[in-house]
Structure 1
Amino acid sequence: MALAQGVNICDYTPPRNEMFAISLSGDYRYFNDRYLDDRTNVSVGHLAVQGVSWLAEPEWGYRLEGTARLELGQAIRFDISVASSAELRRYLDENLFLFGGLTSTGVPGQPDLAVTLLGGAGWGRFRDVTPMAKALKVSEALQQEKIIAQPLSQDQLNQIAQIIGRRAELGLAAVLEEIEKALGTTLGVRGVLVLQSVLSDESRRFCGFDVTASAGYEVLDPTGTNSAVVQIAANIARALDADSGFLANALWQADLPFTGYARLTASATYNRVLSPTAALTALYNFSGLQSPSEMTQLHAITVNFTVRVSAAFNVLVRAETSWGTGFEEPSWGLSLGFQYTLY
């Protein structure tokens, strides 16, 4: 349970479950390969544009995601890759839903384009509990500045969270004014600066889970072997407290008719805000391919240290390592990058 000041963040229900973000990111990466003779070591730069739009209402929900990635190699060659997914959900009750969607990888118009259509059913729901996490941080920050003498009450936290959850509708100035009214005190310059610092933090917290089963068809397949597919997926997210969160997901997929080949991917992410300007993220990824005779595996661990330079601009330092089937030695990499929030 995520408890802070006696509050379980995951009990919070926001006025609206919605997210829309577009960001530009880039990095320069040194990669040491899996071979003892270092035959494919590389230093390479990347630029990427990422976008996500998500909405979850009582009866309907949708999710759109997309990434366009440009790689600049040592030979001054540009390689571009695109990945996207879309999903529409129709909730039959609080947790049961039907859905349809698609996933795609590759560049439209190029021979590597792959598109899969899917439809199925699932159970579960996610909530954006960021407003409550920020309300708790407001309470803590105002106490540290001695603007309030004790933690905010449950009713005050709920009221402030609801106000923060309407920021897109009200605007920053109106949110600050409404919070001041809810507190029943004059914040002054210090208090306003504290609130602006908390509200400008772009990190988000989610709670919930879902499990889905679906079937579909590979409409476009670069190998030319278009086939039906079946997949089972599970996702879970928890806000452990106002400053940390956990996310995990797993996906099993196989072609139909089943021939003994299957794919399994899984990941787990932990994020911790270390200070108003620094955060740490640890990520573990697993991917496996099952064939009638063997299973190949790949494991990877990535650690990101993020420094917030401004409300929209972050600098990232990343360390990574991976190991698996066929590796002569673990691979590793270091990169320095940035992320700029466009919207």
Structure 2
Amino acid sequence: MNMLRQVAVVLAAAGIVVAGYGLGLCDYRTPTTDFVQGKLSFFYQHVDDPGTAGIDLSTGRLWFEARRQFDSVTEGFGLVGSGEMLFRNLRLVQVLAGATGALRQYVEGPWPVFTFVGFEAGLNTVHFQPLVEAQAGLGFGRFYDVTPLAKALRIEAQLLRLGAIPVSLPNEVVLAVAVAIDQPDEVVTPAERATTVVRLIEREVRRTLDAAAVLLVEEIIVAPGQQRFCGWRAEAGMAYELLDPRAGPRDLLFSFALDGALAPEPGSQLLFRTKISGPYWILDQHTLTLDVTFDYQFDTVTSFMTRYTLRQDKPRGQAPAGTQAAAFQLGFDLGWVGVSIRMEFSKIAEALEWTQNIVIEAKADLW
């Protein structure tokens, strides 16, 4: 019962807003957003036809990404690291890695205005040295982790499907379930969290959930890799190149970035990021990047993801050049590990047609 009282207090203090007549994921608000995410995937393909000389095909890729995001009312920080290792003929031929980090200090007031300082680093072994930039500037906007409400709505939908509850839960009960799920690990264990959720639901429907329903609640609460986010953030700032990957002059750059996240419903997520940077003649010389991802969770096992990326480099006085890539992926998850079938399309600026590739890869949610 002590845990139920804590949930009631947090629910009142969180300032959760529900717009309109229903529950919208992107209307969920808590004072603090804190999440950690790590992913890993690998594939290798090897073909050696005895009817031809030498190895016909031998390539592979190891990819990883790690994220840490924290936001409170007054401050926040973000760290993102990713890397890709390319193999050919069972040998490592290229390494690409990148990392970004930023510290944010929110200005006191009703609007999410903040100042930031940060860095960006990148490594491509085909270049002379890595890229390192120091950054600072102003921004507006904030992201929210709405995973607890997404899981609460998923619990409600699955219990209705099982017939464990007769009708949909009232909004205030769904919100209380979300707050119970959102309790930090330092305060309650996953088992205690699930017990509180079951008690909240049983109190509302005035019936006892059977073992299958309780197990379903526990599985949804601890399920990895189903984070949902909402919000947007715009940044404008300056960056100074501490290291230039092509050993060129170190430039003072201006940068503008826009990030967005939308979760239309518990099973889907749209992520968007675009950034342009360059010297003060930025329209004539710049680097433009765009990354759009949409994923949809059909059930606890099957998911679909599509992604489009663009990178365009425009030297001063020259035509822009760059790369585009699109991917479509069907994934099957078994806990923290899984397998996916991915179709990839890529194209460089001077190419007339898209390169196509189909791969089957193993993947894992590290944390």
TM-score scaled to structure 2, two decimals?
0.83
Q: Could you say if the C-alpha distance between residues 127 and 89 of structure 1 is closer, same or farther in structure 2, counting changes exceeding 3 Å? A: same
Change in 2 beyond 3 A, CA 1:209/1:42: farther
Is residue 300 of structure 1 aligned with residue 325 of structure 2?
A: yes
Q: Report what 1:160 is aligned to.
A: 177
Secondary structure, counterpart of 2:264 in structure 1: strand
Q: Does structure 2 retain, via aligned residues, the 8 Å contact 1:50–1:68?
A: yes
Over the residues paired in the alignment, what is the CA RMSD in angstroms? 2.5
Identical aligned pairs, as a percentage? Answer: 22
2:216 is matched with: 194
**Residue 48 of structure 1 contacts residue 67 of structure 1 at CA under 8 Å; is this kept in 2?**
yes
Aligned partner (choices 73, 81, 89) of residue 74 of structure 1: 89
Contact preservation (8 Å) 2:337, 2:363:
yes
Deviation of residue 186 (structure 1)? 2.7
Gaps of 5+ in 1: 31-40
Q: What amino acid sits opposite 1:69 in the alignment?
A: E
* Separation of aligned partners in 2, 1:4 and 1:44: 53
Alpha-carbon displacement from aligned partner over 1:246-282 (angstroms, at most 9, x marks no partner): 1111111113565821111112211111122110011
CA drift of 1:107 comes to 7.5
Instruction: Decide whether the 8 Å contact of 1:19 with 1:54 is kept in 2.
Output: yes
CA pair 325-80 structure 1, distance change in 2 beyond 3 A: closer
Determine if contact 1:3/1:241 at 8 Å carries over to the other structure.
no
CA contact (8 A) 1:86 1:102 kept: yes
Q: Please report how far the alpha carbon of residue 162 of structure 1 lies from its aligned counterpart in structure 2 after TM superposition.
A: 0.5
Q: Is the 8 A contact 1:101 1:118 kept in 2?
A: yes
Which structure has more RCO (C-alpha within 8 Å, separation ≥ 6)?
1
- Name the SS of the counterpart of 1:126 in structure 2: strand
Matching residue of 1:33:
none
CA drift at 1:324: 4.5
Inter-CA distance 29–333: structure 2 relative to 1 (3 Å threshold)? farther
Note the alpha carbon deviations across 1:212-264, whole angstroms, 9 max, x for none: 10101000112222111111000111111111121111111113565821111
In 2: Cα distance, 1:258 partner to 1:233 partner = 14
Amino acid at match of 1:300: A
Find the counterpart in structure 2 of residue 207 from structure 1: 230
Amino acid at match of 2:343: A
- Whether 1:106 aligns to 2:126 is no
- In structure 1, C-alpha distance between the alignment counterparts of 2:256 and 2:57, rounded to whole Å: 36
Larger radius of gyration: 2
Task: Quote the Cα distance in structure 2 between the aligned partners of 1:293 and 1:49.
Answer: 34
Is the CA contact 1:29–1:334 (under 8 Å) kept in the aligned structure 2?
Answer: no
SS in structure 2 opposite 1:240?
A: coil
What SS is found at the alignment partner of 1:178?
helix
Matches within 5 A, 1:299-318: 299-310=324-335, 312-318=336-342
Instruction: Tell me, in whole angstroms, the C-alpha distance in 1 between the residues paired with 2:67 and 2:306.
Output: 21
Q: How many residues align?
A: 330
Bigger shift: 282-291 or 60-69? Answer: 282-291
Whether the aligned pair in 2 keeps the contact of 1:322 and 1:331 (CA below 8 Å) is: yes
What is the match of residue 335 of structure 1? 359
Match of residue 190 from structure 2: 172
CA gap 1:29/1:205 in 2 versus in 1, 3 angstroms = farther
> 1: CA distance between counterparts of 2:354 and 2:63?
26
5 Å-filtered alignment, 1:271-310, equals: 271-291=295-315, 292-310=317-335
| Cα pair 1:265 1:288 within 8 Å, conserved | yes
Structure-1 separation of matches of 2:322 and 2:95: 26
Q: Distance in 2 between matches of 1:71 and 1:213?
A: 34
Which residue number corresponds to residue 88 of structure 1? Answer: 103
Q: Report the 3-state secondary structure (helix = DSSP H, G, I; strand = E; otherwise coil) of the residue aligned with 2:298.
A: strand
Q: CA deviation at 1:197?
A: 2.9
Deviations 1:278-318 (CA, angstroms, capped at 9, x unpaired) = 100111122222342422353321111110112x1121211
Shift in Å, 1:53 = 1.1
Structure 2: gaps of 5 or more residues:
1-17, 47-55
Contact 1:16 1:165 in 2 (8 A): no
Q: Report SS of the residue matched to 2:263.
A: strand
Superposition pairs of residues 182-261 of structure 1, within 5 angstroms:
182-183=200-201, 184=203, 185-199=207-221, 200-224=223-247, 225-256=249-280, 260-261=284-285
CA distance in 2, matches of 1:302, 1:204: 21
TM-score, scaled to structure 1: 0.89
C-alpha separation between the residues in 1 aligned to 2:41 and 2:30? 29
Deviation at 1:95, TM superposition (A): 0.8
2:217 maps to amino acid:
L
Contact map agreement 1:210 1:236 (CA 8 A) in 2: yes
1:63-96 Cα distance to aligned partner (Å, 9 max, x none): 0111243322125235333211111000004410
Q: Distance in 2 between matches of 1:314 and 1:334?
A: 17
Alpha-carbon distance in 2 for matches of 1:54, 1:340: 20
